[in-house]
A and B are shown apart, each in its own frame.
Chain A
Amino acid sequence: MSDATPLNVLVLVKYVPDAQFDRRLDPGTHRVERTDSILSELDEYAVEAALQLVEAHGGVKAGHRVTVLTMGPDGAGSAIKKTLQMGATEGVHLCDDALAGSDAAATSLALAAAVRHLGGFDLILTGMASTDAETSLVPSQLAERLGLPQLTLVSEIALEGREVTARRDGDTRTQRLRAPLPALVSVTDQFDEPRYPNFKGIIGAKKKKTHTLTLAELGLSAEEVGATGSWTEVVSSAARPARTAGTVITDQGDAGARLADFLADQKLL
């Protein structure tokens, strides 16, 4: 990327129930009850990666843009707000009642339509997974639908001219990846710690714009998304019985031996 060509980055984020609290499935719809929701913690790494990439090439002053897109209910605007406070330049909120209950296939369909509608992105960044559904399917499905190279589950990312490079760490191996722009990148929590919004960021965010998009603007019908547009359905769900505390002892100098006793009793040795 020459510095004469501003970089146009899109970050996808999700508004999810805070995992610090008890999360519940609605017994009728089997959908997650969306109370006490926040910006998904794992998406903050994608925002941080986008901001660092832009800052390495002159920052927002050089004309680079970091747009944040979320698909979610009314309250999801608060997730966008936090990213604007971190330093993103503008927000887009895809909001339509018909989207509720979308699985990964329907979500990726709607997001692909939104990306095409907005247009012109060099890079699309996502987190490694949402902290609610945790399937990690959407980044790959979006890459497939948009015909973009995917550089997924990466912990380092850099631009070299019009190419993006990244490091992907798996359980058994580390890979170095390279692709021409435009490309889709998912960032793990092994990327640098996301920044906290500072005072200047919080004040500055008040002047930034968030644009709302509806399905109609994307040329999608209600039947193509939500439960009817999904290719999977949850047919039943049941809360797992809560674990209860067992025996707790205080070490009197023989706890190691008593642990061995316990394991032997449980036939675990």
Chain B
Amino acid sequence: MSTTLVYLDSPSLAQGSEPGKADRELLAIAASRGDVVVAVPAELPEAATAALGAYGATAVVVPDAPLEDQLVAPHAAFVAAAAQDAGADLVLLSNTGEGREIAARAGIRLSAGVVTDVVAVGPDKTFTKSVLAGAYTAESRATTGIAVATVKPNSVEPAERGSGTAGLRAISVPQAGPAARIESTEEKPLSGRPSLDDARIVVAGGRGVEGDFAAVEQLADVLGAAVAASRAATDAGWIEHSYQVGQTGKTVSPQLYIAAGISGAVQHKAGMQTAQTIVAINSDPDAPIFEIADFGIVGDLGEILPQAAAEIQRRRA
């Protein structure tokens, strides 16, 4: 039996909510290997500990004093201490910007190899990931006793609720060293749409939307999809940067990706070419996006998207 430490830091957990889908995926990977110890960097209400137990945690570890309001370093010190305390040979975190940074520093503290962007964990701690913007699939291993991995969402079936229980214990966290102070945090308003990271369907707009994302958003809402954008659209200021898919934005692998008014430059393809099905709509018949699309339409997205949205709604009515 191996012990896996799973680091979860979603704010909803500290408020007593059940673990989210991405969190439950980490729990499922850990449970497939043996004992599951969950590390949460904040005080936890009893309900949250009970919920983590029900989803497979055998123990839950929290810091015995609140972590400093500082960036990354205290969290990494906590993760490393929790991994040692649990005797874990694998540490799993989510593959967010902060998750990777905490993994990076915890890896140094534990003298452990770190692998990012993982989509599957094999029984002998072989990690599968896409590299070179989805052009290759690679399998990596840590050469150290402990491995640290950050796992992308939508990689495995999430853990289901069972009848397990978990004990809570508090551990002391060593000094993290100099760190930046977080002076203020402003939460961004929620859009009500699924997040780009774990959406099953993504509708994206590019230069061809000419500043107006209304038709893209309308089709996204009919499909229950997330909205995304090419770099041309985010650089033009038509939509916020966090919606960008591509080399300098997010990498997504949804079941369906609809690219509207996106030419399909290397920069964009890098972020979406591992989608299962790609649909492209562009007024330029020579747009490179058609080379990778399963279904392409040459035409005006301002006509086609609303017509598709209306037709889908009609069929569902």
A interface residues (Cβ-Cβ under 8 A, vs B):
19-20, 22-25, 30, 32, 41-42, 103-105, 108, 128, 131-141, 143-145, 147-153, 165-166, 168-180, 183, 189-190, 230-240, 243-251, 253-260, 262-264, 266, 268-269
Contacts and interface: CB of A to CB of B under 8 A. Distances in A.
B180 A183 contact: yes
A178 B179 CA distance: 9
Contacts of B96: 170-171
Interface in B167-221: 177-188, 195-197, 201
A150 B247 contact: no
Given A105-B113, A137-B114, A235-B141, A255 B297 contact: yes
Contacts of A268: 201, 255-256, 277
Interface in B270-296: 270, 273-274, 277-279, 281, 285, 290-296
* Interface of A (DSSP majority class): mixed
Interface residues of B, number: 96
B104 A140 contact: yes
Contacts of A259: 279, 281, 295, 297, 304, 308, 311
A220 B309 CA distance: 62
A179 to B, nearest CB: 4
Interface stretch (B42-50, B53-61, B127-135, B158-166): B127-135
Given A189-B248, A234-B140, A140 B296 contact: no
Interface in B115-151: 115-117, 126, 130-144
Interface stretch (B32-40, B70-78, B82-90): B70-78
Contact of B114 (A139, A231, A243, A249): A231
A235 B105 contact: no
B71 A240 contact: no
A232 B316 CA distance: 50
A264 B315 CA distance: 10
Contacts of A248: 285, 290, 293, 295-298
A245 B296 contact: yes
A171 B126 contact: no
A268 B203 CA distance: 13
A95 B49 CA distance: 51
B181 A179 contact: yes
Contacts of B281: 255, 259
Nearest to B102: A140
Contacts of A269: 223, 312, 315-316
Contacts of A145: 108
Contacts of B255: 268
A266 B255 CA distance: 10
B72 A173 contact: no
A153 B136 contact: no
B137 A19 contact: no
A131 B247 contact: yes
B112 A231 contact: yes
B105 A240 contact: no
B107 interface: yes
A17 B244 CA distance: 23
A191 B137 CA distance: 31
B300 A177 contact: no
Contacts of B108: 105, 108, 141, 144-145
Contacts of B307: 254-257
A155 to B, nearest CB: 8
Given A30-B138, A174-B185, A268-B277, A147 B306 contact: no
Minimum-distance CB pairs A-B, first 8: A256-B307, A251-B299, A231-B113, A140-B104, A248-B296, A232-B113, A256-B308, A246-B294
A232 B71 contact: no
Instruction: Name, among A231, A234, A245, A266, the residue most crowded by chain B CB atoms within 10 Å (CB to CB).
Output: A231
Given A140-B105, A256-B305, A263-B256, A148 B178 contact: yes
A160 B131 CA distance: 40
Instruction: Name, among A143, A153, A169, the residue most crowded by chain B CB atoms within 10 Å (CB to CB).
Output: A143
Contact of B295 (A140, A149, A262): A262
Nearest to B116: A135
A143 B297 CA distance: 49
A265 to B, nearest CB: 9
B267 A19 contact: yes
Given A144-B108, A170-B98, A248-B297, A237 B139 contact: yes
Contacts of B256: 263, 266, 268
23 contacts: A23-B135, A105-B108, A105-B113, A108-B108, A128-B248, A135-B114, A140-B72, A140-B105, A147-B178, A148-B178, A149-B180, A172-B188, A174-B186, A175-B71, A176-B183, A234-B139, A237-B136, A240-B134, A254-B307, A255-B303, A256-B310, A263-B279, A268-B277
Contacts of A250: 285, 297-299
Contacts of A131: 247
Instruction: Name, among B117, B267, B308, B310, the residue most crowded by chain A CB atoms within 10 Å (CB to CB).
Output: B308
Instruction: Name, among B109, B115, B278, B306, the residue most crowded by chain A CB atoms within 10 Å (CB to CB).
Output: B115
Contacts of A108: 108
B298 A249 contact: yes
Given A128-B248, A256-B310, 7 more contacts: A141-B107, A148-B178, A180-B178, A237-B138, A239-B135, A245-B291, A246-B295
A254 B307 CA distance: 8
B94 to A, nearest CB: 11
